[in-house]
Amino acid sequence: MEKKKGMAIKVLLGFAAPAVLLALFEVLRTNRAAMDAWVFGGLEPISRFLSLLWSWFPLSGFELCIGLVIVFHLVWILRAIVLAVRERDGLTFLRRLSVLIALWLWLGAGLCWLWNCAYGAAGFSARSGLEGKPVAKEDLITVTRFFAQRCAALSDQVARDDEGHFAEQLTDMLQRGPAVYSNVMEIFPCLEGPGRRAKPLVCSRLQSYLGFTGVYSPYTGECNINADAPACLIPATIGHEMAHQRMIANETEANFVGVAACITSDDVLFQYSGYLMGLIHLCNALYGVDQDAWWEISGATFTPEMSTDWNDNNAYWDALKSPVEEAATSAYDSYLKDNRQELGMASYGACVDLLVAFVLPQIQSGEYVVR
């Protein structure tokens, strides 16, 4: 009797509990009040605690956990096969396989309640009052030119090698990262949060093959950076991932917040990277509606240093294009759409609306909070 009771408890904890959590998430995911209450009343403090806890670990805790999970799976499955063959009992294999299924149920429930719920809560626009509206072509040209001019002015103020390539040190960028939100928090108080140092990924090259420059881990509260990606955009990527730490789940808004944090900071390194990242988004938007305007702006503003960074970034990603990247991008696109991010990966380009809404009034008034 006691043995059966113990087995029932294991089944309940292993399968029923995460299944209930997953079902509850599906019921409540579209309930804004419920998601707001959980995300800002429960999840945000939990995430801050996790980020503090893992900040004492020098490497990426997220990457460590992935490695441990992979090793556990390999050992567990290998042992299940050995036991099944030795004991000639298929039930042994099925029992051990059920443990892995329970583990994935718990990981899925954790992802839903530690991150996916943030997609259903109030986003940056709702919390800050800054709304991205459809952009007139003339306004897009004005802001694009401004970003290009600022980027050009800063392009010779960052470290470069003898050939003019961006040469700032990764360790220095990571150390300076936690301060990047100091000014933007005063402009948008909803972005208040502790500064945590981003972690470089050991398997950064793999991230590049998958087409990603960084990843936020809801399980550890860490910002993880692809250290193999072009260094000139790593500071802006740090800003983007730190936006996720502030419960900005929407990729559109996280991209804008990352750029806004960089261009309002007092750090020239982050300013330059932020303007360069913003210019890429603005360029993609402007090139689609007025190629002549883009060529005029680039011809009039691009410095040799800025052109080198631009070309280095394009060459890096062009060299890594593959079916693997396309598959990873497609999978992530589906993930975003499943979480009601209707534009999927294309939503990264929609941050242009927020950039124009934020910067254009400053250009028109001549009163800048951007640096």
- Summarize pLDDT for 192-214 with one digit per residue, the tens: 998 899 999 999 999 998 889 99
The yes-or-no verdict on residue 107 having pLDDT over 80 is yes
- Name the pLDDT band for 322 (thresholds 50, 70, 90): low
User: pLDDT digit string (tens) for 108-141?
Assistant: 999 999 999 999 999 999 999 998 888 889 999 9
Q: Which among 215, 14, 39 has a CA at the least distance from the CA of 120?
A: 39
pLDDT, mean of residues 349-361 = 89
Residue showing tokens 């890429």 = 280
By CB neighbour count within 10 A (0-12 exposed, 13-18 middle, 19+ buried), where does 148 fall?
A: buried
pLDDT at 44 over 90: yes
- Give me the chain's average pLDDT, please: 89
Residue-wise pLDDT for 259-269, tens only, equals: 999 999 999 99
Give the rounded percent of residues in the chain with a pLDDT score beyond 70: 88
Those residues with Cβ within 8 angstroms of residue 23's Cβ, 6 or more apart along the chain or in another chain: none
Could you give the CA distance from residue 180 to residue 116 in angstroms, rounded to a whole number?
26
Q: pLDDT > 90: what percent of the chain?
A: 72
Confirm if 143 and 356 have CB atoms less than 8 A apart: yes
Judge contact between 174 and 241, C-beta under 8 A.
no
Grade residue 241 by pLDDT with cuts at 50, 70 and 90: very high
Q: In whole angstroms, what is the distance from residue 171 CA to residue 72 CA?
A: 32
Separation CA 282–CA 6 (nearest Å) = 60
Looking at per-residue pLDDT, the higher value among 306 and 333 belongs to: 306
> What pTM value is reported for the model?
0.90
Contacts of 210 (CB under 8 A, 6+ apart): 324, 325, 328
pLDDT of residue 201: 96
pLDDT digit string, tens, across residues 139-168: 999 999 999 999 999 999 999 999 999 999
More confident residue, 42 or 346: 42
Token couple for 278 = 């913003």
Which are the contacts of 236, defined by CB distance < 8 A and separation ≥ 6?
A: 258, 259, 262, 270, 273, 274, 276, 277
Q: What is Dmax (Cα atoms) for the chain?
A: 83
H or E stretch covering 239: helix 234-245
